[in-house]
Structure 1
Amino acid sequence: MGALAKTPVTALDAFLRQESLQADKTYLIQPLPDGDVVELSWRQVGEQARRMAGYLQSLGFPAGSHIALLSKNCAHWIVADLAIWMAGHVSVPLYPNQTADSIRQVLEHADACAVFIGKLDEWPRMRTGVPQDMPWIGLPLAPDDDDIQAWDALIEANPPLPELVLPVADQLATIVYTSGTTGVPKGVMLSFGSMYLAASNALRLFNISAQDRLLSYLPLSHVAERQFVEIASLLSGQQVYFVNSITTFLEDVRRARPTVFFAAPRVWENFRSYAERKHGSAWVRLQLKLPLLRERMARRLLADMGLDQVRYAVCGSARLTQGLSSWFAERGLLIVEAYGMTENCGYSHLGRPAKIKAGYIGLPNPGVECRLSGAGEVLVRSRTAMLGYYKDPVRTAEVLDDDGFLHTGDLGEIDQEGFLRLVGRAKDTFKTSKGRYVTPVPIEALLLDSPLIEDACVVGRDLPQPLALLRLRDDVQGTEEQLTRQLDALLQQVNASLQRSEQLGCLVIIRDEWSAESGLRTPNLKLKRNVVEASYQGQVNLWLVSGNTVVWQQKSKEKV
């Protein structure tokens, strides 16, 4: 199995240790489209990774070359990542829902010399973005394409790499491209040591061991899933389950019965919507109110969602509304929030289950210093910080100061105990035509607390007063007239809590889809605020002076 590092300092060292200690234990569990499930042991993962590493070395690339990974989450995503490292190269993950243009942009900027292509939903649309002059290496679930080399054939044709290239801690491990909410994605260079430190400290925070189970479904190209699932599992040895598709998500969760679960607010909201559709009867609601029946019913509801074994539930990437947090807490699942950036391996702040403060994320993680700049920007310093932006020393210097503090771009508040509250992005603050500055995120948070609202974007740059563009939840019921009355009441409620200069002139109900495909969201589904504003720039003033407190973008049909 190769040399075993005495004291692991990288994720590859950690993998070699796990492979030695529990070679025949199942590590990765991959469901297939035909209903079968493939299980890979640590020994099998190591064998395949070494053979693929042998193939990569046969290509003759210089040491430290950049190899791209374009695939949805699957077991062989991790195998390929290990192979890239074993061969002495650097992995460059891409989001599996990127456009052809953005794929080409990242591959060219990253100087990628080969690409692994795996499980993808819309390969024909993406294909033209992958240059033909580099090897296309297929993962087992790759699309059917004659130009993609088959994984099994390469594994069979190449012997295992006899001697692995073991990296050192300060060596470049991966280039993770940001989601690009405001423009061209930046290539964040992360070292083996920073990734290892962030994951090892997270294991202690969550008390994770080899007995835990994780479900991988958020993009592994995102730093949170990469650290929380891949790197953490390599260090601790727990099993990783994967999802088959969005239509089998609940079935996959039930199969995994994860013990630690990380999700964005949208996923937690989908769980709640499912439970309310299936278990929303008056009898169930009554049982949840009765002390003698509450615990048993709550356990049944969580089991139906596959969440009954979760002992640590985490929310990240966006704010968790108080209503959603309370709903799960009433059913016995306490969700804590996490905060971090690609630029620090996603390692910054975490809520503590024993002490949760409403509206606050939590305390700094071990080894993290946090303070506010004079303008209220959150600054953090730790040994998990990036090496810099690839080929961009100017922007690197803008966010990493001489004292080693990372300038997050987030505006925040810190209480006397050190708890952090985020109040918005510095770049999102705008000035109205009356010269008043407005920070939109806190206003959007008030709107999103309503069970009616799916998305909110407050705009108002150079307008007399701000207004909110809203998308309603799909399960909202009622006629346009009925919903208008409810939304008008929401507007009055929100405005009553705002300063006069921040009060919204109207709510605009948008019927368009805000999706990654339409260009209004990033590949990891964050809203591109500047693109949304530009999309409706020609209409916002008319909506604002219409005289209506609730404006519908177009005549809506009755909601059923």
Structure 2
Amino acid sequence: MDTKNKLPLDMIYHWETAKAEDIYMTQPMGGGTVVEYTWRRAAGEARRMAAYLKSLNLPERSRIGILSKNCAQWIMSDWAIWMAGHISVPLYPTLNADTVRYVLDHSRCEVLFVGKLDDWDSMKSGVPESVHCISYPLSPKNDFKTWDEIVAKYPPLKENVARDPDELATIVYTSGSTGRPKGVMLSFANLGYASVGGTEALEVSANERMLSYLPLSHVFERFVVELGSMYRGFQLYFAESLDTFVEDLKRAQPTLFLAVPRIWTKFQHGVFEKLPQQKLERLLRIPLLNRVIKKKILTNLGLQHVKFAGSGSAPLSHDILEWYRGLGLELLEGYGMSENFAYSHMTKPGRARTGYVGEALPGVDVKISEEGEVLVKSPATMMGYYLDEEKTRETFTEDGYLRTGDKGEIDDLGRLKLTGRIKEIFKTSKGKYVAPAPIENRLMSHPDIEMVCVSGANYPQPHCLVMLSEDAQRKTADSAFRKELETSFASLLSDVNNAVDPHEQLKFIAVVKDEWTIENDFLTPTMKLKRNMVEDAYKANTDSWYAQKQPVIWQ
């Protein structure tokens, strides 16, 4: 069907009849059991939940929250909210109680779907008593009305409710690497435009399979997975848990696969644990073995059927990108923001250039400001920030371009290279400016490094903080390994310093003991580094580290 000018609800109504008995979603329920949802069943349950939401007689266009890890009910809730004439507000399933309360209060949520969560006990105090809660089948223990009892009791909404293209569809709260999250307002037209443009650019078909495990509360997953499947009619699978992830991948046998850089790094480290990097490189140079080994690695990762894999949310190390491409995996980078529903740039198959995040997607107008900032504009660009006109004005130029906050440059084929975040750029005591991201990318090529933070504002030279991979952390108890790693890091420091400008050369690498996680507030819910939190955590050590005048320092 021609999806041009079709809105999300139009697509649900289409597949509800066109692929009524085809399986749309496969949901693991634990213990090896799965529940399969046909398009007819998924749309039917959404219609029944919409009827219940309408029975609550909420004010028109009320905000309704979804607080859950990915599952079939997450997507059906989104549909039900739209069918009932309301606005969906996704919340990250890893938020603390304080941020849960902030989002629910700020968006003035009337109802909250509470779903599959790892730490509901630490969140529930953030839910105001005035908010009416509904529980999913995989929810933690609670006293709320359940999805199944509502769906069993209420007859489905019969009419195909239409929503205006320019109407507010969802408020997406940014993951907040600095300060309070902002509520990005996206219309049905924004969602529809991105979905059509993205699926056409990659020639996505109805025969694809995807595993949904990155947070649906983030625009990257919602754009490609939820809306992508709605616009092309392909099949979705959900992950049960981290422990079952490999089995979940093998069940799905995805043809399209998304991950953030930290996951691609972990996958690579997992391969090197079984087959050390140097040995693997030797084996890959043997012509007859080469193809067999590549296929075996991708099969063990569950990625042997993948046509396109995507990486987004943060830059991926060039070395890791090239490593996957060397295995025969078409790993494409994408670039976008909550503010444009992740619809901005994407690497095109066969046109990748290392260090570049791709070309502008159809309908995206991009230019570089005099200050070097990337400015973008498209029909997918947000309506503005919820209840914050001042911030909205600051975020747009006078001619309607979105200020991305990223510095960048464009090559002669229109491919965009990001050279750092404007707000992340810091000044040394010598008055020189340093953009940390490109230096961090170089450091991330080391197989024993999982995360990096380049810092050093108001010091003569910058330095870097390094978090080791899980495997390397375990091995540091062995003094011989530790000495070997120290030598390797000293060599890495020298290589990086030879490749950057003199004012960017790092004084030392500090290996930290802490693990940087979402739970201890070092990372955002999308695994981006909270730079200010990381820097503050080691501020007390910094002067003494510089005084040591050593290339590698252990915390």
**Residues 470-502 of structure 1: CA deviation (Å, up to 9, x unaligned):** 111122245332222211111111111222211
The one of 345, 352, 356 aligned to 2:348: 352
Change (3 A) 1:67 1:310: same
> Is the contact between residue 8 and residue 14 of structure 1 (CA under 8 Å) also seen in structure 2?
no
Work out whether 1:50 is the aligned partner of 2:47.
yes
**Residues 90-136 of structure 1: CA deviation (Å, up to 9, x unaligned):** 00000001001110011100110110000001111111111121111
Work out whether 1:368 is the aligned partner of 2:364.
yes
Partners of 2:123 and 2:248 in 1: CA distance: 27
> Is the contact between residue 508 and residue 551 of structure 2 (CA under 8 Å) also seen in structure 1?
yes
| TM-fit CA distance, 1:416 | 1.9
| TM-fit CA distance, 1:537 | 1.8
Residue 39 of structure 1 aligns to a residue whose secondary structure is strand
Match of 2:249 in 1: 253
Work out whether 1:334 is the aligned partner of 2:336.
no
Partners of 2:380 and 2:3 in 1: CA distance: 22
The one of 522, 528, 531 aligned to 1:529: 531
Residue 32 of structure 1 aligns to a residue whose secondary structure is strand
Partners of 1:247 and 1:539 in 2: CA distance: 36
Match of 1:114 in 2: 111
Change (3 A) 1:357 1:244: same
| TM-fit CA distance, 1:8 | 5.7
| TM-fit CA distance, 1:274 | 2.6
Partners of 2:407 and 2:278 in 1: CA distance: 43
One-letter amino acid of the structure 1 residue matched with residue 358 of structure 2:
G
Partners of 1:246 and 1:106 in 2: CA distance: 27
Please identify, of 410-419 and 472-481, the stretch whose mean Cα deviation from structure 2 is larger. 472-481
The percent identity for this pair of structures is: 45
Match of 1:556 in 2: none
> Is the contact between residue 344 and residue 376 of structure 2 (CA under 8 Å) also seen in structure 1?
yes
- Where in structure 2 are the equivalents of 1:163-182 lying within 5 Å? 163-182=159-178
Residue 508 of structure 1 aligns to a residue whose secondary structure is strand
Work out whether 1:539 is the aligned partner of 2:546.
no
Match of 1:89 in 2: 86
Match of 1:100 in 2: 97
Partners of 2:392 and 2:427 in 1: CA distance: 28
Change (3 A) 1:470 1:6: closer
| TM-fit CA distance, 1:301 | 2.2
Match of 2:452 in 1: 456
- Where in structure 2 are the equivalents of 1:20-59 lying within 5 Å? 20-59=17-56
Residue 247 of structure 1 aligns to a residue whose secondary structure is coil
Please identify, of 175-184 and 442-451, the stretch whose mean Cα deviation from structure 2 is larger. 442-451
Partners of 2:491 and 2:59 in 1: CA distance: 64
| TM-fit CA distance, 1:284 | 6.5
Match of 2:519 in 1: 517
Partners of 2:546 and 2:233 in 1: CA distance: 56
For structure 2, the residue ranges without an aligned partner over 5 or more in a row are none
For structure 1, the residue ranges without an aligned partner over 5 or more in a row are 554-560
> Is the contact between residue 269 and residue 447 of structure 2 (CA under 8 Å) also seen in structure 1?
no
Change (3 A) 1:7 1:325: closer
Match of 2:497 in 1: 495
| TM-fit CA distance, 1:290 | 2.7
- Where in structure 2 are the equivalents of 1:269-348 lying within 5 Å? 269-279=265-275, 287-348=283-344
- Where in structure 2 are the equivalents of 1:152-301 lying within 5 Å? 152-279=148-275, 287-301=283-297
Partners of 2:168 and 2:14 in 1: CA distance: 21
Instruction: List structure 1 runs of 4+ shifted beyond 4 angstroms.
Output: 4-8, 279-287
> Is the contact between residue 325 and residue 334 of structure 1 (CA under 8 Å) also seen in structure 2?
no
> Is the contact between residue 364 and residue 378 of structure 2 (CA under 8 Å) also seen in structure 1?
yes
Q: How many residues align?
A: 549
| TM-fit CA distance, 1:291 | 2.6
Please identify, of 509-518 and 289-298, the stretch whose mean Cα deviation from structure 2 is larger. 289-298
Match of 2:434 in 1: 438
Partners of 2:380 and 2:36 in 1: CA distance: 33
One-letter amino acid of the structure 2 residue matched with residue 300 of structure 1:
K
| TM-fit CA distance, 1:300 | 2.5
**Residues 436-477 of structure 1: CA deviation (Å, up to 9, x unaligned):** 111111111111122221111111111222111111112224
Partners of 1:336 and 1:344 in 2: CA distance: 19
> Is the contact between residue 455 and residue 471 of structure 1 (CA under 8 Å) also seen in structure 2?
yes
| TM-fit CA distance, 1:166 | 1.4
TM-score (norm 1): 0.95
Residue 169 of structure 2 aligns to a residue whose secondary structure is strand
Please identify, of 47-56 and 350-359, the stretch whose mean Cα deviation from structure 2 is larger. 350-359
Match of 1:508 in 2: 510
Please identify, of 519-528 and 93-102, the stretch whose mean Cα deviation from structure 2 is larger. 519-528
Partners of 1:206 and 1:195 in 2: CA distance: 17
One-letter amino acid of the structure 2 residue matched with residue 245 of structure 1:
S
| TM-fit CA distance, 1:309 | 0.7
Please identify, of 269-278 and 137-146, the stretch whose mean Cα deviation from structure 2 is larger. 269-278
**Residues 62-86 of structure 1: CA deviation (Å, up to 9, x unaligned):** 2210000000000110011100000
| TM-fit CA distance, 1:49 | 0.6
Work out whether 1:413 is the aligned partner of 2:409.
yes
**Residues 421-441 of structure 1: CA deviation (Å, up to 9, x unaligned):** 111100011111221111111
**Residues 131-181 of structure 1: CA deviation (Å, up to 9, x unaligned):** 1211110111111112x2111111122111232431121111000000000
Please identify, of 239-248 and 268-277, the stretch whose mean Cα deviation from structure 2 is larger. 268-277
> Is the contact between residue 9 and residue 168 of structure 1 (CA under 8 Å) also seen in structure 2?
no
One-letter amino acid of the structure 2 residue matched with residue 412 of structure 1:
G
Change (3 A) 1:285 1:505: closer
Change (3 A) 1:507 1:473: same
Aligned-pair RMSD on alpha carbons? 1.8
| TM-fit CA distance, 1:283 | 8.2
Please identify, of 313-322 and 218-227, the stretch whose mean Cα deviation from structure 2 is larger. 313-322
One-letter amino acid of the structure 2 residue matched with residue 46 of structure 1:
A
Work out whether 1:403 is the aligned partner of 2:403.
no
**Residues 268-306 of structure 1: CA deviation (Å, up to 9, x unaligned):** 122222333345599876553233332233223212221
Residue 145 of structure 2 aligns to a residue whose secondary structure is coil
Please identify, of 185-194 and 283-292, the stretch whose mean Cα deviation from structure 2 is larger. 283-292
Residue 303 of structure 1 aligns to a residue whose secondary structure is helix
Partners of 1:442 and 1:305 in 2: CA distance: 28
Partners of 2:279 and 2:488 in 1: CA distance: 27
> Is the contact between residue 316 and residue 441 of structure 2 (CA under 8 Å) also seen in structure 1?
no
One-letter amino acid of the structure 2 residue matched with residue 95 of structure 1:
Y
Match of 2:443 in 1: 447
| TM-fit CA distance, 1:408 | 0.1
| TM-fit CA distance, 1:330 | 2.3
Please identify, of 488-497 and 250-259, the stretch whose mean Cα deviation from structure 2 is larger. 488-497
> Is the contact between residue 89 and residue 172 of structure 2 (CA under 8 Å) also seen in structure 1?
yes
Residue 475 of structure 1 aligns to a residue whose secondary structure is helix
Residue 545 of structure 1 aligns to a residue whose secondary structure is helix
| TM-fit CA distance, 1:352 | 1.5
Partners of 1:231 and 1:204 in 2: CA distance: 13
The one of 2, 5, 17 aligned to 2:14: 17
| TM-fit CA distance, 1:334 | 2.0
Change (3 A) 1:513 1:281: closer
